[in-house]
Amino acid sequence: MTRHDPIQSCDSCPIRANAVCADCAPDEIAVLDRAKTYRTVPAGGRLAEAGEPLTYFSSIVSGCATMSRTLEDGRRQTVGLLLPSDYIGRPGRSTSAYDVEAVSEVTLCRFECATFERLLRETPHLATRLLTMTLDELDAARDWAVVLGRMTARERVAAFLVSLARRQARLSHQAEPTRAIALALPLSREAIADHLGLTIETTSRQFTALRKAGAIETPSTRLVQIPDFERLALEAGEDDDGGMIA
Amino acid sequence: MTRHDPIQSCDSCPIRANAVCADCAPDEIAVLDRAKTYRTVPAGGRLAEAGEPLTYFSSIVSGCATMSRTLEDGRRQTVGLLLPSDYIGRPGRSTSAYDVEAVSEVTLCRFECATFERLLRETPHLATRLLTMTLDELDAARDWAVVLGRMTARERVAAFLVSLARRQARLSHQAEPTRAIALALPLSREAIADHLGLTIETTSRQFTALRKAGAIETPSTRLVQIPDFERLALEAGEDDDGGMIA
DNA sequence: CGCTTATTTGAAACAAATCAATGATTGTGG
DNA sequence: CCACAATCATTGATTTGTTTCAAATAAGCG
């Protein structure tokens, strides 16, 4: 992980092109620039708690966070993996529906709820971009439901790696991952298991199985080498041209 | 199912208070009223196909539809149950990401894509309502991920019935279902299984188990009597006061 | 370098899927 | 209107993938 200098202005912001502000015109950005504040939370820090008040609308500038729910008996399901440019919070609600916790050091760009709701009314391109991002998130959540509802443990692990590789590629402004990719896993095996609806043991076994099958290499636990992205996508139940449909 | 007269104007529309138009002022509604067209599709009809063009943005006025994806090998996962006031289509995309099919006769209120996108720009309350509904759908999709990822077969069936009861209550303008409720299931056992990420056999067994446990009664396959809603919610893994969190 | 935590691997138990058959409902033509 | 076919739902027996329980190994950290 490279160390970044503290960001001062939206001009030098690494998520300027993808975040909720991406569609804003220079004059709109000027307004946001004045209203925003930054906050950095260490790895393991809580950014929101299910049922508790959430008084900011935040975008992740750097780092990684998980959004999850824990049942009374301890079962936990991660419902979203938050990477740079993803947002936390919901306009119109003052409490969080999920736990959000930083899995690495996270820097947020945030607005007070009331401020953000005003900005949303007064900044047309902010509202349209938020809608687009929310629709994208909805599609992603539905795609993930297919993984959780119908895929085997092995397919789930492959699907997770494929999805992570795609998002990592998009963050570096590529449309698709290259044939061979190195993936830095932001999550522990346990956090991956919670995301996949599996136990940590099953998750670990599937990493081993994919490695033995030659679909991935694991130089260290937090590093995955994908020698052939298409091959791994096949393991994830996708057909040759990227769609998962018949 | 009661037979409705064809709707002519938005004034007499049954979903006026909940659909994408719900927040619109009278002058905004007047514009929508002129642009909309109705269409009725028989049970079993296809409203959209994954990967295929979708040239309308539609709201369900009456009836029920499922949104699903089918994998090459035939595995199917339903990612959304569409009831009156829910919408089909995505502004900014011209193809559907999922199959949408009518499970009962469905009447749609629809706008051509280009028209709807123009309306979205020119009708502030339409855009805000669409955002709110999409955020709600996103929360629902994430809640469902918890069901698919972490719940047992029995809990899934209970959760499905609870969720259906809640939505049925909301459609008749109640905040919460009453203690005892009669539920008319819009879905076959197979469609329920596809929604729950289970097989039809397991689904059927859990209906039987819940019946034997006294949590439900099943006068006919498409009818479920819930004698005590809270009791069933407990079976669905919810704690006493409605939250699923610890 | 030793201690703690994370990950991998193994064996047994279990929940759900699969295979197989029966029973119930719905629709249709004689 | 009833017999028949066809679909849908339930139940039973067995298999299988995943979990659980248990232990060993590897990795991070003061």
Among B178, B201, B205, B206, which Cα is nearest to B190's?
Answer: B201
Residue B230 backbone dihedrals phi, psi, to 5 degrees: -60, -40
- Whether the CB of A188 is less than 7 Å away from nucleic strand D comes out as no
Q: Are A94 and A55 in contact (CB under 8 A)?
A: yes
Q: How many beta carbons lie within 10 A of that of residue A2, not counting itself?
A: 4
Q: What is the pLDDT of residues B111-164, one digit of tens each?
A: 999 999 999 999 999 999 999 999 999 999 999 999 999 999 999 999 999 999
Q: Which amino acid, residue B106? A: V
- Of the residues A99, A117, A143, which one is the last residue of a structural domain? A143
**Of B143, B171, B199, which one is at a domain's C-terminal end?**
B143
Does any domain span residue A246? no
Asked whether the beta carbons of B91 and A135 are under 8 A apart, the reply is: yes
How far A145 CA lies from chain B's nearest CA (Å)?
Answer: 6
Of the candidates A200, A198, A202, A206, the one whose C-alpha atom is nearest the C-alpha of residue A188 is A200
Q: Which residues of chain B are within 8 Å of residue A75 when distances are taken between CB atoms?
A: 150
Residues B103 and B168 in one domain: no
Task: Tell me which residue of A148, A143, A219 sits closest to A185, measured CA to CA.
Answer: A219
Check whether residue A116 and residue A199 sit in a common domain: no
Out of A143, A169, A203, a domain closes at: A143
CATH for B184:
1.10.10.10
- Say yes or no: A145 contacts chain B, CB-CB below 8 A: yes
Query: In sequence order, what are the beta bridge partners of A68?
Result: A78, A99
The CATH number of the domain where A58 resides is what? 2.60.120.10
How far is residue B106's CA from residue B132's CA, in Å, rounded to a whole number?
24
Residues A174 and A126 in one domain: no
pLDDT in the model for residue A245 = 47
Claim to verify: residue B114 and residue B16 sit in the same structural domain: yes
CB contact set of A178 (below 8 Å; sequence gap of 6+): A169, A229
Residue A193 lies in a domain: yes
Q: Are residues A25 and A117 in the same domain?
A: yes
The closest alpha carbon to B68, from B89, B49, B41, B45, belongs to B49
Residues A157-166: pLDDT tens digits?
Answer: 999 999 999 9
Residue B128 CA distance to nucleotide C14 C1' (Å): 49
Residue A2: the pLDDT is: 44
Residue B3 lies in a domain: no
Q: How many angstroms separate the most distant Cα atoms in chain A?
A: 55
Burial class (CB in 10 A: 0-12, 13-18, 19+), B160: buried
Q: List, for residues A3-57, the tens digit of each pLDDT value.
A: 455 667 999 999 999 999 999 999 999 999 999 999 999 999 999 999 999 999 9
Q: Across B44-169, where does the E strand assignment appear?
A: 46-48, 56-62, 65-70, 76-82, 87-88, 99-102, 106-112
A75 interfaces chain B, CB cutoff of 8 Å: yes
> Is B54 domain-assigned?
yes
**Angle between the B124-150 and A124-150 helix axes, to the nearest 10 degrees?**
20
Say yes or no: A50 and A138 in one domain. Answer: yes
Dihedral angle computed from the Cα positions of residues B169, B102, B111 and B128, in that order, rounded to the nearest 10 degrees: 30
Residue B216 contacts residue B207 (beta carbons within 8 Å): yes
- Edge to edge, the sheet with strand A37-41 lists A37-41, A106-112, A56-62, A87-88
Whether A158 is covered by a domain: the verdict is yes
- Do the domain assignments include residue A109? yes
**For position B1, what pLDDT does the model report?**
44
Give me the pLDDT at residue A244, please.
58
DSSP class of residue B222?
T
Q: Which bin fits A129, alpha (ψ -120 to 50), beta or left (φ > 0)?
A: alpha
Mutation for A interface: B146, B157, B239, B241, most A CBs within 10 A: B146
Domain assignment present for B121: yes
- Give the model confidence (pLDDT) of B199-228 as tens digits: 999 999 999 999 999 999 999 999 999 999
- A112 CB neighbours strand C below 7 A: no
> Per-residue pLDDT averaged across B60-82, rounded?
97
| Closest CA in chain B for residue A92 | B132
- Strand order from edge to edge, sheet including A65-70: A46-48, A99-102, A65-70, A76-82
- Shared-domain flag, residues B16 and B98: yes
In terms of domains, do B128 and B24 share one?
yes
Of chain B, the end-to-end C-alpha distance in Å amounts to 40
pLDDT, tens only, B82-113: 999 999 999 999 999 999 999 999 999 999 99
Q: Give the length of chain B.
A: 246
Q: Are residues A24 and A88 in the same domain?
A: yes
A205: which nucleotide lies closest, measuring CA to C1'?
Answer: C8
Evaluate whether A99 touches A49 at the Cβ level (below 8 Å): yes
Nearest CA in chain A to B90: A135
Q: Please count the residues of chain A.
A: 246
Number of domains chain A contains:
2
Convert the pLDDT of each residue in A178-188 to its tens digit.
Answer: 999 999 999 99
| pLDDT value for A239 | 76
DSSP string, B9-29: SGGG-TTTTTSTTTT--HHHH
Smallest Cβ–Cβ distance between B72 and the set A97, A128, A246 belongs to A246
Provide the CB-side half-sphere exposure for A102 (13 A, CA): 21
- Tell me: pLDDT of B75 over 60: yes
Q: What would the two tokens of residue A216 be?
A: 């991935």
On whether the CB atoms of residues B237 and B244 are closer than 8 A, the answer is yes
CB-closest option in A50, A130, A142 to B141:
A142
Question: Does residue B171 sit within a domain?
Answer: yes
Residues B182 and B107 in one domain: no
Structural domain boundaries, residue A170: 152-235
Q: Find the DSSP H helices in B3-152.
A: 26-35, 113-122, 124-150
Mean pLDDT for all residues in chain A: 94
Indicate whether B24 and B102 sit together in one domain. yes
* Joined tokens for residue B105: 């006769």
In this structure, the answer to whether residues B118 and B36 fall within a common structural domain is yes
Amino acid identity, position B115: T
The residue type of A29 is: I
